[in-house]
Amino acid sequence: MSTTAHWTEAFAARGAAGEPAWLAERRAAGMATFAAAGFPTSADEDWHYTSLAPVAGVPFRLGGGAGSTNVADIAPYTLRAEWPAFVLLNGAFSPALSSLDAIPEGVRVLDLARARAELPAVLERWLGKVANGDHAMTALNTGLMTDGVVIVVGRDVVADRPIHVMHVADAGAEMAAALPRVLIVAERHAKATVIESFVGLSDAEYLVNAVTEVVVEDGATLHHLKVQREGVKATHVGTTEVRQARDSHYLNFSFAMGAKLSRTNVYTILDGEGCGTTLNGLYLADGTQHVDHQTRVEHAQPNCFSRELYKGILDGDARAVFNGKVYVHPIAQKTDGKQSNHTLLLSPEARIDTKPQLEIFADDVKCTHGATVGRLDEVGLFYMKSRGVSAEQARKLMTYAFAADVLETIEDETIKAALEELTLERFTR
């Protein structure tokens, strides 16, 4: 396929000096998978409503320019907190923008190159092993991943503050592709919060194809939040794949409000008994934005639960997709799964395609799903107006109220407040 030639050439041209053999092998395998599959289009089942055809033929440079961003430029995107921040600028680790002094004790946060030197066994064990090599975009990332970060939360460590990974694109990202790779390992009985922000500082046209691999070991709890605020002309594909061991808890929240086109994949495997997974999200889109969430929760062991609540608010000609799959293996008895997707349409042109899928092969499970699409409740608006609230303020309050319950699920009060503010701002312009 001709659209892959640009990428296979980039692969051939790259220097792989110093990389271990296992990594070279995994990269080559990834590249081969991508070359065979090509960019996903609406012909692919999982991409029925979202096509990457518009960017398939674009010869994006691999990695952006050095960029001119300084610490003050990214300050408004730190979610108003002074958490340790690992910053990737246009796909490459930026020590100058990062602030890694306050990393909680027992937690390692290393860029990929340093992780290869200091945590070789962790990398070899997990990198490219958690994420599914069959997915074309994941395979492309594996083949060409430019930089990234490895976070290891040690055994029994309870991190007392979140770690913020910021993927920043500035004007230097123009016509460039960033393929960052993140690996998070929460060791036995560890507890931590990791935020990944994707921030566009300019209106450059760029592609982000990010892959995050997550390992949650026995009894560990990981809160993982994604805040997607890419630039207006950006195309964003972000895939998070999670492997959970016995009695672990993984809580993902996806907040999506940026990019021209964005696709967020969250795939988890509950691969031990007594696990819990909570996947929640809020997407806000207007204009001609396209925002797609795809989740897959694989119940591979008995006595696990999963909860999903995705909400969206769409205005203008925006289009959203939600595709949630829950797969229950025959062995996974007593699975308790619940999934819902609710979308509020503020304009007649906005559109959502929602597709819940349950595939259940065990016979003693409790699984439900539901989806609603609605408009602002006229009676509620009238009730507010009848109390003197202006029509505009009533609309804002009702719109915000729609999103309030899903934001309420965020445990960290600072993050919750920051995302509530972003949501309010979005509808009070």
Partner 1 sequence: MTPILEIKGLTASVDGKEILKGIDLVVGAGEVHAIMGPNGSGKSTLAAVLSGHPAYEVTGGEVTYKGQDLLDMEAEERAQAGVFLAFQYPIEIPGVSNAYFLRSAYNEIRKARGEDEVDPMEFLDLVEEKLKLVEMDPAMLQRSVNTGFSGGEKKRNEILQMAVLNPSLAILDETDSGLDIDALRIVAEGVNKLKRPDNATIVVTHYQRLLNHIVPDYVHVLAQGRIIRSGGKELALELEDKGYDWLLTEAVA
Binding region for partner 1 (CB under 8 A): 377-380, 382-391, 393-394, 397-398, 400-405
Nearer to partner 1, 68 or 390 (CB): 390
Between 54 and 380, CB nearer to partner 1? 380
Smallest separation (angstroms) from partner 1 to the CB of 336: 24
Sorted by sequence, the CB contacts under 8 Å of residue 44 that are 6+ apart come out as none
Q: Which is nearer to partner 1, 73 or 420 (CB)?
A: 420
Q: Which is nearer to partner 1, 39 or 427 (CB)?
A: 427
> How many CB atoms are closer than 10 A to CB 414?
14
DSSP string, 210-230: EEEEEEE-TT-EEEEEEEEE-
Q: Cα(135)–Cα(176) distance, rounded to whole angstroms?
A: 22
Q: How far is the CB of 338 from partner 1 (least distance, A)?
A: 18
What is the enclosing helix (H) or strand (E) of 366?
strand 366-374
Q: How many helices (H) and strands (E) does the chain have?
A: 10, 21
Query: What is the closest distance, in whole angstroms, from the C-beta atom of residue 383 to partner 1 in the complex?
Result: 4
C-beta of 47 vs 402, nearer to partner 1: 402
16 burial (CB, 10 Å; 0-12 / 13-18 / 19+) is exposed
Nearer of residues 353 and 420 to partner 1, judged by Cβ: 420
Minimum CB separation of residue 385 from partner 1 in Å reads 4
Q: Do residues 151 and 183 touch, judged by C-beta distance below 8 A?
A: yes
- Residue 152 to residue 110: CA distance in whole angstroms: 9
Q: At its nearest, how many Å lie between partner 1 and the CB of residue 401?
A: 3
The distance of closest approach from Cβ of residue 386 to partner 1 in the complex, given in angstroms and rounded to an integer, is: 5
Q: Which is nearer to partner 1, 90 or 340 (CB)?
A: 340
> At closest approach, how far in Å is the CB of 348 from partner 1?
18
Edge-to-edge strands, sheet with 249-256:
92-93, 85-89, 163-169, 191-200, 221-229, 249-256, 276-285, 305-314, 336-345, 366-374
> Can you tell me the distance from the alpha carbon of 37 to that of 93, in angstroms, rounded to the nearest whole number?
29
Nearer CB in complex with partner 1: 325/342: 342
Query: Do 344 and 315 touch, CB atoms closer than 8 A?
Result: no
Smallest gap, in angstroms, from Cβ of residue 281 to partner 1?
Answer: 17
